[in-house]
């Protein structure tokens, strides 16, 4: 999924973390009585080597292209490890367009999304006004906020421009 640039007033800031994602995941696994296997290590390194939204199928395809042979990460291991990464607080799972999409959660600031229902573009933004509104509503209701997911569905500027373009005879073929 691509990400459109967002204005500086809504841009995300960096967050400092005490441990790198791999060490944080190892701590989580140890607490659960599990160990870090080579396939888990490959998967975590790949997921945290770049920041992008992804689904399990895209991840499986990327890993298959990257790692052929005995170090290959199996489909069940991918699904199981993604769930563990969510439980460990390293990834966030969102339902977008009827499928599970993952993004970094650990070491990444709270943010929200604009989702283009036509092309699948997913843009991140942060809004202090939205946080203040959320907190005010929660306070009024005596509600303790532990987080939120806000996804605005709509049509991105590029898709709007494409739909406004006049149809040509060649488009009808």
Which tokens hold the place of 98? 């009827």
**Residues in contact with 126: Cβ distance below 8 Å, sequence separation at least 6, in sequence order:** 10, 11, 12, 13, 109, 110, 111, 112
Q: What is the pLDDT of residue 86?
A: 97
With 0-12 / 13-18 / 19 or more C-beta atoms within 10 angstroms meaning exposed / middle / buried, residue 112 is middle
Kindly report, residue by residue over 113-125, the tens digit of the pLDDT. 999 999 999 999 9
105 annotated among ligand-binding-site residues? no
46 annotated among ligand-binding-site residues? no
Kindly report, residue by residue over 9-21, the tens digit of the pLDDT. 676 666 778 899 9
Q: From CA 104, how far away is CA 91, in angstroms rounded?
A: 5
**Partners of 96 in beta bridges:** 99
121 annotated among ligand-binding-site residues? no
Residues 162-168, mean pLDDT to the nearest whole number? 72
- State the average pLDDT for the chain: 87
Kindly report, residue by residue over 123-158, the tens digit of the pLDDT. 999 999 999 999 999 999 999 998 888 999 999 999
Walk me through the domains of the chain, giving residue ranges and CATH numbers: 17-108 (1.10.10.10), 110-173 (3.30.1490.190)
Q: What is the pLDDT of residue 170?
A: 67
φ/ψ (deg, to 5) at 14:
-85, 160
53 annotated among ligand-binding-site residues? no
Signed CA dihedral, 89, 55, 16, 152: sign only: negative
Q: What is the pLDDT of residue 164?
A: 78
116 annotated among ligand-binding-site residues? yes
119 annotated among ligand-binding-site residues? yes
Are 85 and 94 in contact by the 8 Å Cβ rule? The answer is no
Are 43 and 73 in contact by the 8 Å Cβ rule? The answer is yes
Are 39 and 76 in contact by the 8 Å Cβ rule? The answer is no
Confidence of residue 5 (pLDDT cuts 50, 70, 90): low
Q: From CA 18, how far away is CA 131, in angstroms rounded?
A: 25
Kindly report, residue by residue over 24-75, the tens digit of the pLDDT. 999 999 999 999 999 999 999 999 998 889 999 999 999 988 765 556 789 9
- pTM over the 0.75 mark: yes
């Amino acid at each position: 999924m691509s990400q459109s640039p967002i204005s500086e007033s809504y841009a995300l800031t960096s967050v400092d973390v005490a441990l790198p994602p791999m060490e944080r995941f190892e701590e989580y696994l140890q607490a659960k009585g599990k160990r870090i296997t080579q396939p888990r290590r490959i998967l975590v390194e790949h997921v945290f080597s770049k920041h992008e939204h992804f689904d399990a199928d895209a991840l499986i395809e990327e890993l298959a292209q990257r790692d052929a042979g005995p170090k290959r990460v199996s489909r069940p291991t991918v699904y199981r490890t993604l769930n563990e990464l969510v439980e460990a607080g390293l990834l966030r799972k969102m339902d977008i367009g009827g499928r599970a999409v993952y993004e970094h959660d650990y070491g990444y600031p709270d943010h929200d999304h604009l989702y283009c229902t036509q092309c699948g573009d997913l843009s991140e933004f942060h809004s202090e006004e939205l946080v203040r509104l959320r907190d005010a509503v929660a306070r009024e209701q005596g509600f303790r906020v532990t987080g939120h997911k806000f996804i605005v569905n709509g049509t991105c500027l590029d898709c709007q421009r494409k739909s406004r373009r006049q149809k040509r005879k060649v488009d009808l073929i």
